[in-house]
Amino acid sequence: MEDFKLILDGLYKILYKNEKSTDIINEISKNVEDISYITKNIYGVLENKLYLEYILKKLSKIKLNKLDKNVKIILLIGLYNIHFLDRKNYAILNELVNLTKKVSFRSKSFVNAILRSFIRDEENLAKINIKNDDEYRSIKYSMPLWIIKYLNDSYGKAYTDKFLKSLNKERNLSIRINKTKTDKENLKKLLKDCGYILEDSKISDSSLIIKNPKGLAKTEEFENGLFTIQSEGSIKVCEILNPGKNSNILDMCAAPGTKTSFLAELCENSSKIIANDISFNKLSKINENIDRLGLKNIEITNFDASILKEEYKEKFDYILCDLPCSGLGVIDRKPEIRYNRTMEDVKNLSKLQKNILDRAFLYLKPGGRLVFSTCTIGNIENKDNFTYLSKKKRLKNIKINEKEYIEYNSFDDETDGFFITKFEKI
């Protein structure tokens, strides 16, 4: 039952306290040797939440919003185990009933009855009886209807279908080589000697794909700063900015510092970098990255990037605007995002991005270069703001692979959804 208690507490914090799934899993891993079952349950419930709630509505006479929050989560855990993990034995059911006694004693019979009913009639209860195509997909893939409609409008239904089908597939982990300390061939040899299976990235020259990443962050090579765990799309952002040596660089929204550190590596520690983030609590993470990787000439600042700093006008040769966004491009890694975002958030974030881009334009020297990127998908935060930048008379688009901008997605590129575009001030 201890595992189920950790799963319950973790899901409660994610769903009702707005905590991040990755942080919860990392915290649990400090005290539990094998967290594979716990991880599978936390992510499994999040990835299938709307579908599990759909089933629960068929079984419960009480409206879901009237249920005790802990009891509802216990039921979702039970339904997930029965339907997706094929754990139909009554020992599991009894464990969940005993857990219910601890959080809401009077609900124990209710939980017992619901889960037993599902075991008896799983095949029928698991069917989705919805005729509307978008509503059906919303339940099947546990994706809020507004996101499906938004992606349909931005890219069409074929794209949306591929995106939805790719969500729960296991994705490869990628790392970035720290070329100030090693090179690709040497790192490949070291990691192969540790038993890791590697592939070259198709997206980034500075990246390797690790097929069996268990224990990677505990290796001597990681501790010594020979590589950083980072998605290929994120690595590509810095490669596209491609800052020169002995230059002034501004990373407008830098936390947790993964891209900042790569900018320093690309310049071989020769450039002056200002790494800024509005969140003071995230600044320590930037310092951790800098120290582990052995990087220099990085100043960490803490200001609101949407507010003008007069002293920064035309000061920088390169500016990275990897901006706050809805994060729809990383839903497969952070499934809770789909439940704590709204279309209003997307519109507000797009406005914030415009404000920050306006400031970046003023901070850029003539001849200076700017990269605007997000880890989201959908036109409002991406293509619309590319168009906004394109209308500035002193900005010239620099094509990437013969395109005005590039977009990565999880199903074609097997990396995070990323939007990247580059401009030069004239």
pLDDT at 164: 96
Does 210 have pLDDT greater than 80?
Answer: yes
Nearest to 230 by CA among 178, 175, 177: 175
The CA-CA-CA angle for residues 20, 155, 140, to 5°, reads 55
| Dist CA 278 CA 301 (whole Å) | 8
Domain locations in the chain as residue ranges: 2-125, 133-166, 173-229, 236-425
Read off the tokens for 59. Answer: 């079984």
- CA distances (Å), origin 310, targets 174, 268, 300, 356: 39, 29, 18, 14
**Percent of the chain at pLDDT exceeding 70:** 100
pLDDT at 86 over 80: yes
Per-residue pLDDT at 285: 84
Is residue 69 within 8 Å of residue 12, measured between CB atoms? yes
Task: List helix spans (H) across 212-316.
Answer: 220-223, 232-241, 258-266, 283-293
Give pLDDT tens digits for 161-179.
Answer: 999 999 988 888 999 999 9
Evaluate whether 116 touches 93 at the Cβ level (below 8 Å).
yes
pLDDT in tens, 291-339: 889 999 999 999 999 999 999 999 999 999 999 999 999 999 999 999 9
pLDDT tens-digit map of 118-139:
999 999 999 999 999 999 999 9
pLDDT tens-digit map of 370-388: 999 999 999 999 999 999 9
Condensed to tens digits (0 to 9), the pLDDT of residues 263-277 reads: 999 999 999 999 999
At the topology level, CATH places domain 2-125 in N-utilizing Substance Protein B Homolog; Chain A (1.10.940)
pLDDT score, position 282: 85
Domain 173-229 coded CATH 2.40.30.40: no
The answer, yes or no, to whether residue 89 has pLDDT greater than 80, is: no
Instruction: Confirm whether 173-229 and 236-425 share one CATH topology.
Output: no
* Burial label, 411 (beta-carbon count in 10 A; 0-12, 13-18, 19+): middle
- Antiparallel, parallel or unpaired: β 395-398 and 364-374: unpaired
At residue 329's C-alpha, the angle toward residues 328 and 331, to 5°, is: 65
Q: What is the pLDDT of residue 34?
A: 85
Residue 198 has pLDDT above 70, yes or no: yes
Please confirm whether the linkage preceding 256 is cis (ω < 30° from 0).
Answer: yes
**Mean pLDDT to the nearest integer, 17-28:** 94
1 pLDDT band, cuts 50/70/90, is low
Mean pLDDT for the chain? Answer: 95
Please say if the pLDDT value at position 257 is more than 80.
yes
Token reading at 271: 């450039």
pLDDT at 281: 84
Q: Which CATH architecture has domain 236-425?
A: 3-Layer(aba) Sandwich (3.40)
- Whether 33 has a pLDDT exceeding 90, the answer reads no
Residue positions counted in the chain:
426
Alpha carbon distance 357, 306 (integer Å): 8
Confidence check: pLDDT of 283 > 90: no
Q: How does residue 25 score in pLDDT terms, banded at 50, 70 and 90?
A: very high
pLDDT at 2: 85
Residue where the block lists tokens 């975002």 = 341
* CB-based contact 27:341 (threshold 8 Å): no
Mean pLDDT value of segment 137-150: 98
**pTM attached to this predicted model:** 0.93
